[in-house]
Amino acid sequence: MRSLIALAALPAIAAVPAMAAEVQIPVTNPVVELTVMETVLADPDYATVGAGVTVRASTVSEALKQNAAQMRKVVDKLKSVGVAAKDIQTSNFNLNPQYQYRNDGQAPTFLGYEASNQVTVKLRNMDRIGETLDALANAGATNFFGPNFGLEKDEPAKAAGRKSAFNRAQAQATDYARMAGYTGLRLLEISETYAVSQPMPQSGAIVVTAAKAEDATPIEPGQVGTGVTVTVKFEMTR
């Protein structure tokens, strides 16, 4: 009795309506299915950092006023060094009363209100990341997080990973076919998933101080990985 294998939709026919009939390919020989992941390293083309301002004042209105004025300077500085408005996004805002708690059973002492505002920024000029962080510190930023590096133009890396993953899968399938006494393969199905290069969740603070460009905070981008996972099914043939 013949078994049936579903042919995966290829990118060239990805626009076929979701209700289209699934293509069936009859097979008469054993089928081998392999999943291979390949990670390609490449130089990142952007970095994300978090920059913010935290202030404390005796009243809510004063805390908000001071924070807004200082944060406005930070955002203006970002724009003045060439960061586009679309690459600046508010990621956190907090306003909380602050108390000093005692261990002697006495009531806590009210210290004021603390206002915190933070933006997440995508920096595309990889040569000026440290200089930009220093400029933000000089403009009044008090909190920094990151940087996290990513690859936006990742098609070349994905193409290299795709080719390598498929070649590995085909070579492994060929080995299985030979061990089973078959001489060839017929491709039945191929599918792909990949990990998009993007910033990791922010964690850990960095501390910078204002400096001249030649003494800017050193930032080393290293490389980032783009992962491609290919799943293939081959029918063994004679």
CATH of the domain at 191: 3.30.1660
Question: 62 and 126: one domain?
Answer: yes
Question: Domain range holding 101?
Answer: 46-150
Q: What was the pLDDT predicted at 22?
A: 60
In a domain, 205, yes or no: no
Question: 70 and 18: one domain?
Answer: no
How many of the other CB atoms lie within 10 Å of CB of 79? Answer: 12
Q: What was the pLDDT predicted at 104?
A: 84
Low-confidence residues of the chain: pLDDT under 70: 1-23, 196-214
In a domain, 191, yes or no: yes
Question: 173 and 192: one domain?
Answer: yes
Question: 142 and 51: one domain?
Answer: yes
Closest to 71 in 3D by CA, of 148, 130, 142, 123: 142
From CA 148, how far away is CA 200, in angstroms rounded?
Answer: 6
Q: What was the pLDDT predicted at 21?
A: 52
From CA 52, how far away is CA 17, in angstroms rounded?
Answer: 46
Question: 39 and 50: one domain?
Answer: no
pTM, two decimals, is: 0.72
What total number of domains does the chain contain? 2
In a domain, 218, yes or no: no
